[in-house]
Chains A and B, each alone.
Chain A
Amino acid sequence: SQELEQSPQSLIVQEGKNLTINCTSSKTLYGLYWYKQKYGEGLIFLMMLQKGGEEKSHEKITAKLDEKKQQSSLHITASQPSHAGIYLCGADGSGAQKLVFGQGTRLTINP
């Protein structure tokens, strides 16, 4: 079954700094989704990447999909307190697993 590994598991950065979160798949990625979750709440869809080399941006968040490396990265520029939360990557699973997720990266922004 497909597995997604995220790194780092937690990240503490000072407000205004840039940061990157990685998501590595055990199998070839055909579709990769990024979500944000505030503690104890539901997930908010951020971006979907489908093609190798694809890059998407929304406000100060940029996500890239490197199919050859079976990896995706999420980059936040000039971080703000509103960026704090848990970021999860998800991908189409194989077999019965409809959607599999990484373990998540907990992001803390210090003022």
Chain B
Amino acid sequence: KAGVTQTPRYLIKTRGQQVTLSCSPISGHRSVSWYQQTPGQGLQFLFEYFSETQRNKGNFPGRFSGRQFSNSRSEMNVSTLELGDSALYLCASSPLSGTYNEQFFGPGTRLTVL
């Protein structure tokens, strides 16, 4: 079974731009969660999508948004980028919502904002 894939793996943007990151879950998984990891704040939950609906959302500003398609692939978008948005963005998929012991993580997308 193919694992969780994220594209692109690396991205460099400038302040004020917007960015879209993509996550393809494991086949058959319907839940996709997104996380932001920074040296200062650690790993923080962004949001979770299940069956194309946002199930949960972390404490992030509205500049962070996401969506899920009918094939369970998910995208997250960050608008008006700030320097502090530089981070490793991880997505994770699981068969159902909240099944963390069956949650598989992708390799992440490293975003650098200049």
Contacts and interface: CB of A to CB of B under 8 A. Distances in A.
A42 B106 contact: yes
A97 B44 CA distance: 9
A86 B44 CA distance: 16
A86 B20 CA distance: 27
Contacts of B107: 41-42
B42 A101 contact: yes
Interface string A7-19: 0000000000000
B42 A33 contact: no
B92 interface: yes
B30 to A, nearest CB: 15
Interface residues on A, range: 20 to 34
B75 interface: no
SS of B interface (majority): strand
Interface string B63-92: 000000000000000000000000010101
In the complex, the 8 A-B pairs of residues with the closest C-beta atoms, listed nearest first: A42-B105, A101-B43, A48-B101, A43-B105, A98-B56, A103-B42, A98-B45, A42-B107
Interface of B: 4, 33, 42-45, 48, 55-59, 88, 90, 92, 98, 100-101, 103-108, 110
29 contacts: A31-B100, A33-B100, A40-B108, A41-B107, A42-B90, A42-B106, A42-B107, A42-B108, A43-B43, A43-B90, A45-B101, A45-B104, A88-B43, A90-B100, A92-B100, A96-B58, A97-B58, A98-B33, A98-B45, A98-B48, A98-B56, A98-B58, A98-B98, A99-B33, A99-B45, A100-B45, A101-B42, A101-B43, A103-B42
